[in-house]
């Protein structure tokens, strides 16, 4: 049996933890740059606000409907996520953190009734962190996903759906919308729609060879998992990242190379910091530029350039240098650029670094410098110490409705006043 713990409307719920006055009211959270809707409370969903909808399209509705809007505050969400995971970890033998708001958990050695255990987990997370969750328990991860959706949907389940008897599973699959199955995305969803298949059971009834031929082994896994055959294993240790990237859409179009170089330098140093956080080094650095894809009247351009390093590194200085070289290769004047990004790849553990016999770099010295950089920025705040190439003005996006970093910045702690 696997459990899945899924936070309800996670970002919206995080905002409510420190704004209890908003419980029961419509709340939405916006993407970076206040571009799109990326999270909605149930009340906001009920108003017809769509996931991923551009903010400007729903602005009138929001003004009329008294919806509270927040700019994305990932510092807050990341921290509350860690607390949810820590609480869950204290209650079960092992967990696999699947995303910022979801974790699978292991139920080996746990005694029945498992649905009661699930409800205890839900209550404890609610009490310790303040985030409401839905728990699904079932024989495979794909079925546990379905169970957690049912727990979210039906209040009478009290936050936990334990789905294990074959006849119960069959009954659920006969009604569960195929498009909502984990592993069936937009493309396959449309394909099944055209075929007239609506429920998970109808998919399960397809011949195995057909699924293999049309959807590959990934589709076959989903097909088998729905039938209780475990194909997606439980991984407690997250695998090392294969790629680290930072990219942003700009609030306005940028045309000059100098400005783009400063921005790319900043993205590169953010990437490098993440890389060190993982205890890894990389040996490829890519930069890319993108014009405004929503402006069909303007010439479009997407170019990416890859720099191969002579030896793996986690040094901000080297990664920034390479990212700027790559940027100069892709930059062409005469375009209005709307987005840029930096990608690190060929990532390996820093402890297994393959040095170069002729390297001019003193690794020890460089690593001490990076430790100083990280320590200063950790204790005095992000961006206290930067490389000169980033310039003095950090990249700013639109964040008009940003809430405080209640849990990760001393200056922004919530103050409770005596009555």
Partner DNA sequence: TCTGGGGTCCTAGGACCC
Question: Interface residues with DNA (CB under 7 A)?
Answer: 31-33, 35-36, 38, 52, 54-56, 98-102, 145, 181-189, 216-218, 239, 241-249, 251-252, 274, 292, 294-295, 339, 341, 397
Our CB check for DNA shows the closer of 217 and 415 to be: 217
b/e map of 5-22 (b: 16 or more CB within 10 Å)? Answer: bbbbbbbbbbbbbebeeb
Our CB check for DNA shows the closer of 253 and 311 to be: 253
Question: How far, rounded to the nearest angstrom, does the alpha carbon of residue 348 sit from its chain's CA centroid?
Answer: 22
CB of 213 to DNA, least distance (A): 8
- Looking at residue 381, what DSSP letter applies? -
Neighbours of 221 (CB within 10 A): 20
User: What's the token pair of residue 203?
Assistant: 């998919």
The rounded distance, in Å, linking the Cα atoms of 82 and 84 is: 6
Our CB check for DNA shows the closer of 120 and 243 to be: 243
Our CB check for DNA shows the closer of 63 and 116 to be: 63
Contacts of 47 (CB under 8 A, 6+ apart): 26, 61, 65, 67
Our CB check for DNA shows the closer of 185 and 355 to be: 185
The rounded distance, in Å, linking the Cα atoms of 81 and 21 is: 22
The DSSP string of 270-308 is HHHHHHHHTTEEEEEEEEEEEE-TT-TTS---EEEEEEE
By three-state DSSP, how is residue 385 classified? coil
Neighbours of 212 (CB within 10 A): 13
User: What's the token pair of residue 8?
Assistant: 């309800």
CB of 389 to DNA, least distance (A): 19
Our CB check for DNA shows the closer of 218 and 376 to be: 218
Question: How far, rounded to the nearest angstrom, does the alpha carbon of residue 142 sit from its chain's CA centroid?
Answer: 19
Our CB check for DNA shows the closer of 119 and 149 to be: 149
The rounded distance, in Å, linking the Cα atoms of 86 and 375 is: 25
């Amino acid at each position: 049996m696997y459990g899945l713990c899924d936070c309800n409307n996670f970002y919206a719920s995080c905002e409510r933890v420190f704004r209890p006055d908003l419980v029961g009211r419509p709340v939405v959270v916006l993407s970076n740059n206040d571009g799109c809707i990326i999270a909605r409370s149930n009340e906001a969903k009920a108003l017809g606000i769509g996931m991923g909808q551009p903010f400007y399209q729903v602005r009138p509705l929001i003004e009329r409907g008294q919806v509270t809007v927040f700019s994305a505050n990932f510092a807050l969400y990341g921290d509350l996520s860690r607390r949810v995971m820590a609480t869950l970890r204290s209650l079960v033998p092992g967990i696999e953190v699947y995303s910022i708001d979801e974790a699978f958990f292991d139920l080996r050695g746990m005694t029945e009734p498992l649905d009661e255990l699930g409800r205890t987990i839900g209550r404890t997370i609610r009490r310790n962190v303040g985030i409401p969750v839905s728990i699904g328990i079932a024989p495979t991860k794909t079925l546990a996903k379905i169970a957690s959706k049912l727990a979210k949907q039906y209040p009478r389940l009290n936050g936990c759906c334990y789905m294990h008897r074959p006849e119960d599973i069959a009954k659920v699959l006969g009604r569960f919308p195929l498009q909502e199955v984990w592993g069936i995305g937009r493309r396959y969803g449309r394909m099944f729609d055209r075929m007239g298949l609506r429920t998970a059971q109808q998919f399960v009834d397809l011949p195995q060879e057909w699924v293999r031929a049309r959807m590959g082994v990934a589709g076959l896994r989903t097909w088998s998992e729905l039938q209780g055959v475990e194909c997606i294993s439980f991984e407690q240790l997250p695998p090392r990242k294969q790629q680290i990237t930072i990219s942003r859409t700009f609030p306005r179009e940028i045309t000059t190379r100098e400005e783009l170089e400063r921005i790319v330098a900043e993205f590169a140093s953010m990437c490098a910091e993440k890389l060190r956080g993982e205890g890894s080094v990389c040996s490829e650095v890519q930069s890319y530029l993108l014009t405004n894809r929503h402006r069909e009247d303007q010439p479009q351009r997407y170019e990416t350039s890859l720099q191969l390093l002579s030896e793996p590194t986690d040094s901000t200085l080297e990664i920034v240098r390479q990212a700027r070289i790559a940027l100069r290769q892709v930059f062409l004047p005469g375009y209005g650029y709307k987005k840029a990004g930096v990608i690190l790849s060929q990532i390996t553990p820093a402890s297994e670094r393959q040095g170069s016999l002729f390297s001019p770099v003193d690794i020890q010295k460089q690593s001490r410098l990076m430790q100083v950089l990280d320590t200063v920025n950790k204790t005095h705040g992000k961006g206290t110490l930067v490389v000169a190439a980033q310039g003095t003005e950090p990249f700013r996006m639109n964040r008009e409705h940003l809430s405080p970093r209640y849990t990760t910045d001393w200056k922004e702690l919530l103050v409770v006043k005596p009555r």
